Amino acid sequence: MTSAVRVRGLRKEYPGQVAVDGIDLDIERGEVFALLGPNGAGKTTTVEILEGYRRATAGQIEVLGEDPRTAGRGWRSRLGIVLQTVNDAAQLTVAETVRHFARCYPNPRDPDEVIEQVELTEKARARVRSLSGGQRRRLDVALGIVGRPDLLFLDEPTTGFDPEVRRRFWDLISGLAHGGTTILLTTHYLDEAEVLADRVAVLAAGRIVAEGTPATLGDRDRAEALVRWRDDNGYHEERTPFPTKFITQLAGDRELAELTVTRPSLEDVYLNLIGEGR
């Protein structure tokens, strides 16, 4: 079995509201999969169902080969979860918190190494309540990875990180993925999804409206390119599905200055998709 997550017809209803409206989802083992969508699209509900925190109204669900609704402690020990907000252990130090969580797993990573990996070594003796928002988020990540999870859920993991720390965190996640950890990521940072994810799915109004690699999502790779250039007659631009052919014909014996070729960004495609899904 290659799928870490297999979902068919997942549906979650609340009184007077459908939060998730019959989605199908496959996430392969060792894959980084990003789930994108606006607030209220159903991302958190979907992830909580996969984690076993919330029960689906209907659908078939397999996570690491088991149904989260009936899976036991052994299954849970194979998961790592970084929630969007956590407000526990305020009186403990960073080191005490990570060591406490490590004892919950059969084969944990070394707590001191994990603390170093999330760049909290200087805060190891600090009380959790004294941490900044970004530091607390790094502690949340440490708690998510200390158990050597087969499947890691990351819900908006870099909220509160400055740009430099975010990029170092991306290296950490890439390293985990290369080591075989399957990762399900939700994020509002599209550059983060583009860097980290092997595949992405876009949720809107409880439905998946598109799925693919960051490069091909919504036929992004086949969208018309915008070619801009400057010659003796000034600045020009042209949209074309075949930019290489166009530029070859355009150039001839002429010199073209400030030549650029751009296709729709992931953000352009995403905004178009969630607009269509509403």
Q: What is the mean pLDDT of residues 35-61?
A: 94
Is residue 241 within 8 A of residue 235, CB to CB? The reply is no
Q: Which two tokens stand for residue 93?
A: 């130090």
pLDDT at 253: 67
Q: Tens digits of per-residue pLDDT, 119-176? A: 899 999 999 999 888 888 889 889 999 999 999 999 888 877 788 888 888 888 888 8
Q: What is the mean pLDDT of residues 179-205?
A: 93
Backbone phi and psi for residue 236, each to the nearest 5 degrees, phi listed first: -145, 160
pLDDT at 28: 94
Spatial strand order in the sheet of 17-28: 17-28, 3-14, 58-63
Is residue 82 within 8 A of residue 29, CB to CB? The reply is no
Q: Work out the pLDDT band at 85, boundaries 50, 70, 90.
A: low
- Burial category of 6 from C-beta neighbours within 10 Å (exposed 0-12, middle 13-18, buried 19 and up): middle
Q: Tens digits of per-residue pLDDT, 193-230? A: 999 999 999 999 999 999 999 999 988 888 888 899 98
Q: Work out the pLDDT band at 116, boundaries 50, 70, 90.
A: very high
E strand residue ranges, 121-224: 151-155, 182-186, 199-204, 207-212
pTM of the model: 0.84
Angle at 207 between CA 203 and CA 209, to 5 degrees: 65
Lowest mean per-residue pLDDT among 34-48, 76-90, 111-125: 76-90
CATH architecture of 3-78+149-218: 3-Layer(aba) Sandwich (3.40)
Q: Which two tokens stand for residue 90?
A: 């305020």
Q: Which two tokens stand for residue 273?
A: 């998709």
pLDDT at 13: 95
pLDDT at 277 over 80: no
Cα–Cα nearest to 80, from 63, 66, 67: 63
Q: Tens digits of per-residue pLDDT, 218-264? A: 888 888 888 999 888 889 898 888 888 888 888 876 778 889 988 88
End-to-end CA distance of the chain: 35
pLDDT at 102 over 90: yes
* Range from 91-100, 218-227, 264-273 that averages highest in pLDDT: 91-100
Cα–Cα nearest to 207, from 24, 61, 6: 24
pLDDT above 90: percentage of residues in the chain? 57
Sign of CA dihedral 181, 182, 184, 185: positive
Phi-psi region of 114 (alpha: psi -120 to 50; beta: other; left: phi over 0): alpha
Q: Which two tokens stand for residue 274?
A: 């969630």
pLDDT at 88: 66
